Structure 1
Amino acid sequence: MENKQSIFETISRLREEQPGLPYRFQDERTAGQKDVLYVLASEGIPFWRKEDLAKECCGILKDLVNKDDTVLTDPVLRHFLEQYPICSYFIELRERVRITLEAESAARERLYHLGMRLARSGSNPEQVKLGIILLGFFPYDTTKQIMRTLGYHSDYTLYVLESIQYVFPLQNNFIFELAKHTVGYGKLAALFLLKPVTWEQQHWLLHEGIKSDFLANIYANLCIQKTDMRAYFKKTEITAANFTDFAYLICYADYNNDSLTIDAQLDFLYKFIDKRDYASSFIDLGALVSVWYQTVEYWQQDYDFISQNETRYRRTKTMWDTRIARYEKLVHKVESFLHQPKWRHIVYQEISAPQESDNLIMKVLVYLNMHPDFSAFMEVLSRQPLGFNMLDFFLKINPELYFDDVCEYLEAILNPDLFTLPLETEEPVNPSVTDLMRADEWVLRLFEVMSEKRKYNEAWCIRGIHYRHAGVRKRAAQVLQLHKKKWSGQVERELRIALQKEPNIKLKRQIERLLLPEDGKDQKESRYLKVKHPPLSYAHTDKELLHTYIAGTQFHELGGVADFLKAGDLLQLVREADNAYDPNAIAVATQAGYMLGYVPRSENPVLAKLIDAEERLYAVLESPTVEMERPKITIVLKRTFFQAQPNGQGQGQGVILPFPPPKKKKYE
């Protein structure tokens, strides 16, 4: 904004130079962000403090009502607004102004002129916000026009919306007008307050209101919550013209809410899938993939339920079988339709010029089992270079494919100063999402992959031991411990430098152990086992068999993995039938296969027979760490189906369950 013009004058001029709504001269990603998120998501300051600030601000206003010429330059007001932004107490301030106007009717005209002066001539955003609050009590035509001009700018939408709550007629229509003509956080504030009572408003919400370049999920879920979904889905016909609108809704809204039963949601999904021939764009593809995931999730929930409730399943078998048959048919329709080469071409078009969210892009890539070259993602990464969704895709879902690329990418984009910042003693607890925190998460995950997948990048290990984040330094040291035989001479030199600077006592000791010569300490085994099964997950149908411990941990080097394990983690059990000392040997290992020890010899004969009979067993770590003598574990049998249960006549009778759902492709 120019200093010679007020904010109102500047907006009016830019509106003439760039006509049309929403305003194109505002940054929709940042305008109003701080204030709207503070009001909608923050607990703010204590109520009593808000009241004190509102009272103090009202006192300043009373002193200024007769000083029209100096109000904009008044040092007391300017200093107060700089120190205490309006967003933290404006609702309490509005209430105090309302009470003042009721008690002192003679002050109305003076407050009106003061509000006009602040709103129209203020060059400070806080002055303009204060002026809007005052003008909200005067529903004149001139006031409404000022409110529109300012309200269409997301920096001021929130204050206009809140200021019209009491005296403006047809408030909901005015809010609807603002919602249609604002973007970003201003539109978000309008959506929160809008009450869509007319068919026009509901239709707009579900076809236009849901759309946003960067707040898609929030917009979509707000719109879903504010409409009668059951009636709307039933009344509206899906056509070629609105197919993509519904696709957008499916992609971004969590419509699994109380307003729709599962059967009603299935009806809508069937209605959408039956029109799948209209699908032609990436958002349409994303919707079809989302339908597949949603259906499989419902299917799995129902399947788990009937697996655990045999009696209820018997009583309502027809209903359950019918629903699961619907799941199966819906999944088959989606899979058959998406088994076409054209969809891969559409995906490549999207990642080369991305329009949709990283999460949706990742979901589609995982479903189609696509692994484009890392270079193909440059446009996606340019929007958010350190986005969490792409971090998951590269280093959580496909670490074997993209590890080396991510190493090069991070080396190219991270500021070298990150590795010269003062070292933190401890890992931060619940850090705020900042660019620095995003960098931390990417680097942390890089070292987790090195540990889990036995990768080794010496240059990054050296960077890691000098990194400001204590967790990164710890994991870098663990990776170096696992790959000590691969060290070059530079590693030891860098470790000695790191040792002198390290503020964390435990890490300092870990580095000291790393620097000990091999013959200066007891040799311990460090190896990975070949894991037969994929990573484990707990299910309610699993059966605990016995409580025991891990034997022989003292003979295994656990320093590189101990900090990654905690009570409740699942561990692999690996048979060693060719073990020279015990043919019933069962090794205990991490999910990635790093060996921790053995199931005690006295308890493994029966367990060995179960594993040899193709039963799936795993262990749950009960102790807080594995770096102790005999860490406790629980051996668990993985079960999916009901075992035969005796009936009232003493005969065994099993339950034949419906067909289970397909394996869900993980993208989260």
Structure 2
Amino acid sequence: MVKKDKKNIIKSIYYDLKEYHYSNANEIYGYQDFETAGKREYKVITKKTHQLENYEKNRLANELMKIFIKEIYSSNELKNVNSFITSNPIIRYYDNFIKLFKEFISNDNNALENFRNSIIKLIKESAYSEEVKLGLSLAPFCNIEDIDEILEIFSIHNEYLFYTIMAYEHIGKCNNIIFELAKKSNGYGKVFCVMNLKPITNEIKKWMIEEGADNNVGGTELLSYTMLSLDLLDYLENTEFTKREIELLSKSFSLLFSDYGIEEINDGIIVCRKLLEIIDKNSSGIYSLYAVISILYSIEAVIIEDYKNKRNFLSNRFTDAYKELIETCKEICKKEIWHEIIAKEVSNVEVESSVLISCAEKTQYKLKKKEFEAIFKRDYTNALLYKYAFAVGNKSIKKVILDLGLQKLPLDQILKGQDELKMDNLVYDDIAQICFFILIKYLEYEDYKDKYKELNLQALRAALIETRLQAATNLQRFKDQFDEIDNELINDAISSEMVVEVRRLLNSLRIKTNDKEKKYIEVTEDMHIDIHVKDIYLITVNVSGTRYIDMSEVSSKLFEEDLVYLKREYDNPYDSYAIRVITKEGYIIGYIPRENNYILKNLMDKGKYLYGKINEISEDYNNISIKIYLSYKDVIEEITSTLSLLSGEREHFVQ
């Protein structure tokens, strides 16, 4: 139950933490991993992991109680207890076991004494974290004399902080203790503190709003327990702020807007208006500016969401109030002081690179090469930096993103081989894939001529589908210039490619286009056709003449189910019945076969509208089949014309 340190002195977890606690003036335990300590408890209590059914929790609680009682009255070694809680951590059925334990000891005073000794042993002598957690969970019900010291010692480590706080809660009158823990905590420990902290004083409310959500994990939960649960408008209207407090407040609001929209905040528009008023009068620091930008982003998100859902945002949600907020934000962003503040903060490693880049973009501050390079070196997997470099940056900044990006990005993982990984199913750990995709998509040939082809050939091995598609598209410019090695790389990529869409595009790279035809025509309004439920399917045909067409023009743009237009070519010297097949962009991909076009041309010449849908495309694009439909468009036009005549709305119908 104990472990030995380097000096072979027997030490438990308790004594390790106790020694650190009294040697470091009650500081948080510095040797813990803040990214993992307490993570299991966090995921369970926030329901981010599989939740047991209540009957399962009761069953586990009963089994543990049975084992615990048996070992207390026999060997008192607790080996089976250790085995059980190692496989079934107490956090998964915490409440159920606590209720069972309290009920048991309330009916048996003798049992309490036996349990007390075993629990003290678990807490003070154990070298196993799950044993300590069990002991801390039960300690407040066993009248342990030095319980205050025990809880104080374990409160410095996030692995045990949840159980410590729960123990304080059971003892009672602990809000001030939890507040003191919250002020010095971070990581998952801060989440545990805030979730149990009650905003009963102005000091606590102030801290919860200004600093409560500033943490490296659990931001959404922290915001819901701090800013969203408090009266922000009352706080803003009745508080005098120093410049430092405005920065803290602004940082909290920028965090709030990263997870929640204006409409999710009580009195959101008025709150934003008041915050902007405070910042406008006291331009403070980089986070004051970023809070303004966050409001702009939040409003943009509302507009985009409405547009996606085809709502009439101009007359409904995109009101004068939103317009006013946008104009106020823009005016604040124009202040010259922000350029000075950005220049000062560029070298500050405490400021997130996303904040600096967003502020530079919105204020039109031009980052110098050295400034951008310094930011990029400390955050080279931030996709926003790649976007900035290609959208705003000059040639020197683009060179930084390319040279340093290729040097620092984990290319062995990015180019580990073709996979079915897509943008839509990426997780945060795959962020480097997006960075490389942006590089491949927006890097221009003129900026990196010597290695452009080589880089895109390498990108054919990317795990991300979108990267491979973009690389194959970029390589189209070299399709008549590939050497033997290039062709071998392309052939290898084709042979191992599992995604049909990518394989087609790769196959098009092998087709020589020197003698191929490229021909566009203007797509006029009368060619446009909307699919109607009453359209009639006529026939499926293979488009003829595709082998003479340069299909590289459509190889990454034409897919199954795409609509194509049909247009008569009256002056065709070889076939007076000719019907061209045209993409919606106006590119001619071939003709309706001669054996199928007689009846179709008669329909078209008599005013009927025909269109096609791509049915199937071969990997080399030489064989394209389309389904041809008779459109309902002419009937709709005839009805519309008749109604217009009858209504008298069009004067030219009056004879």
TM-score for both structures, normalised by structure 2: 0.70
Check the 8 A contact 1:7/1:122 in 2, yes or no: yes
AA aligned opposite 2:457: I
- Shift of residue 205 of structure 1? 0.9
AA aligned opposite 1:356: V
Which of 347, 355, 368 matches 1:352? 347
AA aligned opposite 1:477: A
Check the 8 A contact 1:352/1:377 in 2, yes or no: no
Partner residue, 1:427 = 421
**1:513 and 2:507 equivalent?**
yes
Separation in 1, partners of 2:391, 2:405: 16
Which of 152, 158, 161 matches 1:157? 161
AA aligned opposite 2:245: N
Partner residue, 2:431 = 438
Check the 8 A contact 1:362/1:389 in 2, yes or no: yes
Q: Mark the CA change 1:125 to 1:412 in structure 2 (over 3 Å): closer, same or farther.
A: same
- Match of 1:205, SS state, is helix
- Shift of residue 368 of structure 1? 1.8
Check the 8 A contact 2:211/2:252 in 1, yes or no: no
Which of 283, 288, 294 matches 1:284? 288
Partner residue, 1:656 = none
Partner residue, 2:274 = 268
Q: 1:38-65: CA deviations, max 9, x gaps?
A: 4324232432544444333333322332
Partner residue, 2:98 = 94
Check the 8 A contact 2:306/2:313 in 1, yes or no: no
Q: 1:281-310: CA deviations, max 9, x gaps?
A: 2122222333455567789999999x9499
Separation in 2, partners of 1:632, 1:140: 84
AA aligned opposite 2:67: I
Separation in 2, partners of 1:461, 1:483: 11
Separation in 1, partners of 2:588, 2:177: 66
**1:195 and 2:193 equivalent?**
no
AA aligned opposite 1:463: Q
Q: Mark the CA change 1:495 to 1:357 in structure 2 (over 3 Å): closer, same or farther.
A: same
- Shift of residue 223 of structure 1? 1.2
- Match of 1:225, SS state, is coil
For structure 1, which runs of at least 5 residues remain unmatched after alignment?
Answer: 314-319, 531-543, 574-579, 604-620, 635-649, 652-668
Which of 212, 229, 235 matches 1:209? 212
- Shift of residue 524 of structure 1? 6.4
Check the 8 A contact 1:289/1:367 in 2, yes or no: yes
**1:121 and 2:116 equivalent?**
no
AA aligned opposite 2:471: A
Q: 1:609-659: CA deviations, max 9, x gaps?
A: xxxxxxxxxxxx99999997669999xxxxxxxxxxxxxxx99xxxxxxxx
Separation in 2, partners of 1:559, 1:303: 29
Q: Relative to structure 2, which stretch is displaced further, 372-381 or 127-136?
A: 372-381
Check the 8 A contact 2:21/2:156 in 1, yes or no: no
Measured on the aligned residues, the alpha-carbon RMSD in Å equals 5.3
Check the 8 A contact 2:457/2:489 in 1, yes or no: yes
Q: Which has the higher contact order (CA 8 A, sep 6+)?
A: 1
Which of 232, 244, 248 matches 2:247? 244
Partner residue, 1:56 = 63
**1:112 and 2:116 equivalent?**
yes
Q: 1:301-324: CA deviations, max 9, x gaps?
A: 99999x9499x99xxxxxx99x73
AA aligned opposite 2:125: S
Separation in 2, partners of 1:146, 1:241: 37
- Match of 2:420, SS state, is coil
- Match of 1:243, SS state, is helix
- Match of 2:211, SS state, is helix
Query: What is the count of residue pairs matched by the alignment?
Result: 573
Check the 8 A contact 2:582/2:588 in 1, yes or no: no
- Shift of residue 335 of structure 1? 3.9
Separation in 2, partners of 1:498, 1:78: 53
AA aligned opposite 2:285: S
- Shift of residue 187 of structure 1? 0.6
AA aligned opposite 2:77: T
Which of 42, 48, 55 matches 2:48? 42
- Shift of residue 412 of structure 1? 1.0
- Shift of residue 224 of structure 1? 0.8
AA aligned opposite 1:446: L
Check the 8 A contact 1:525/1:557 in 2, yes or no: no
- Match of 2:248, SS state, is helix
Q: Mark the CA change 1:503 to 1:258 in structure 2 (over 3 Å): closer, same or farther.
A: closer
Q: Mark the CA change 1:439 to 1:404 in structure 2 (over 3 Å): closer, same or farther.
A: same
- Match of 2:485, SS state, is helix
AA aligned opposite 1:182: S
Check the 8 A contact 2:43/2:49 in 1, yes or no: no
Q: 1:537-591: CA deviations, max 9, x gaps?
A: xxxxxxx994499x9996543665249x8999xx9x9xxxxxx9xxxx99845xx
TM-score for both structures, normalised by structure 1: 0.69
Q: Mark the CA change 1:586 to 1:261 in structure 2 (over 3 Å): closer, same or farther.
A: farther
- Shift of residue 186 of structure 1? 0.5
Check the 8 A contact 1:119/1:131 in 2, yes or no: yes
Which of 222, 233, 238 matches 1:230? 233
- Shift of residue 508 of structure 1? 8.8
AA aligned opposite 2:165: L
Larger Rg: 2
Q: Relative to structure 2, which stretch is displaced further, 106-115 or 472-481?
A: 472-481
AA aligned opposite 2:17: I
Which of 478, 481, 484 matches 2:479? 484
For structure 2, which runs of at least 5 residues remain unmatched after alignment?
Answer: 523-527, 536-542, 566-571, 573-580, 591-600, 605-611, 632-647, 650-655
- Shift of residue 367 of structure 1? 0.8
Q: Mark the CA change 1:395 to 1:151 in structure 2 (over 3 Å): closer, same or farther.
A: farther
Separation in 2, partners of 1:296, 1:115: 56
Q: Mark the CA change 1:80 to 1:471 in structure 2 (over 3 Å): closer, same or farther.
A: farther
AA aligned opposite 2:25: P
Q: 1:501-541: CA deviations, max 9, x gaps?
A: x162737954872564527x9946499x99xxxxxxxxxxx
